[in-house]
């Protein structure tokens, strides 16, 4: 599992751009920037929709005031689902990226499966703060359905 002091892997994520699906290289996205990245089990799922994403949305201004360049949500979903989810929540102030093959999620050791509900190689709930691609703060949740450890307020207090 990734740890404080580690460099983020340069995995390819996906988003919907003007011409359709496009690749987003994590290395290029984080180079020379201060970013918060949070991962969650899935778009349109309960806690992710009602608590986790909203915790970052309501604190967006405070993150901006601390010099955070971008808040990025990563989920093991395709980019079309991530775009629809963002629009449904009014979360356009955040960057929601799909990790459809779980490439980034596996590279940082945050993958897990809950086969009875159809979650295969999904993401654990976590939040991290990185400067120039180096992890400075890492909060990993350990209880399904809860996001206090990886919530926006907790990350904000840590940076």
Q: Is 73 a catalytic residue?
A: no
pLDDT tens digits, 27-38: 999 999 999 999
Q: Which residues, 6+ apart, have CB-to-CB distance to 36 below 8 Å?
A: 56, 63, 68, 70, 71, 72, 127, 128, 129, 155, 159
pLDDT computed for residue 142 by the predictor: 81
Determine which one of 16, 48, 71, 130 is catalytic.
48
Is residue 97 very low, low, confident or very high in pLDDT (cuts 50, 70, 90)? Answer: very high
CB 120 within 8 A of CB 41: no
Closest CA to 89 of 127, 137, 40: 40
pTM exceeds 0.75 for this model: yes
* Structure token pair of residue 90: 């009014």
In the chain, what are the domains? 12-158 (3.40.30.10)
pLDDT tens digits, 47-96: 999 999 999 999 999 999 999 999 999 999 999 999 999 999 999 999 99
Is residue 39 very low, low, confident or very high in pLDDT (cuts 50, 70, 90)? Answer: very high
pLDDT tens digits, 108-149: 999 998 888 888 889 999 999 999 999 999 999 987 788 999
Which H helix or E strand runs over 120?
Answer: strand 119-123
pLDDT computed for residue 118 by the predictor: 83
Which H helix or E strand runs over 157?
Answer: helix 152-158
Buried-exposed string 41-67: b where 16+ CB fall within 10 A, e elsewhere: bbbebebbbebbbbbbbebeeebeeee
pLDDT computed for residue 67 by the predictor: 98
């Amino acid at each position: 599992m990734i740890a404080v002091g580690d460099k983020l892997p340069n995995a390819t994520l996906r988003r919907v751009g003007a011409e359709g699906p496009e690749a987003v290289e994590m290395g290029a996205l984080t180079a020379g920037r201060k970013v918060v990245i949070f991962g969650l089990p899935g778009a349109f799922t309960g806690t992710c929709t009602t608590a986790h994403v909203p915790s970052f949305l309501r604190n967006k201004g405070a993150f901006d005031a601390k010099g955070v360049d971008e808040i990025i949500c990563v989920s093991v979903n395709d980019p079309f689902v991530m775009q629809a989810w963002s629009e449904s929540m009014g979360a356009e102030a955040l960057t929601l990226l799909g990790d459809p093959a779980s490439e980034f999620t596996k590279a940082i050791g945050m993958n897990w499966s809950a086969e009875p509900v159809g979650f295969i190689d999904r993401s654990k709930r976590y939040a991290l703060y990185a400067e120039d691609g180096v992890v400075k703060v890492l909060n990993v949740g350990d209880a399904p359905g809860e996001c206090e450890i990886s919530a926006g307020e907790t990350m904000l207090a840590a940076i």
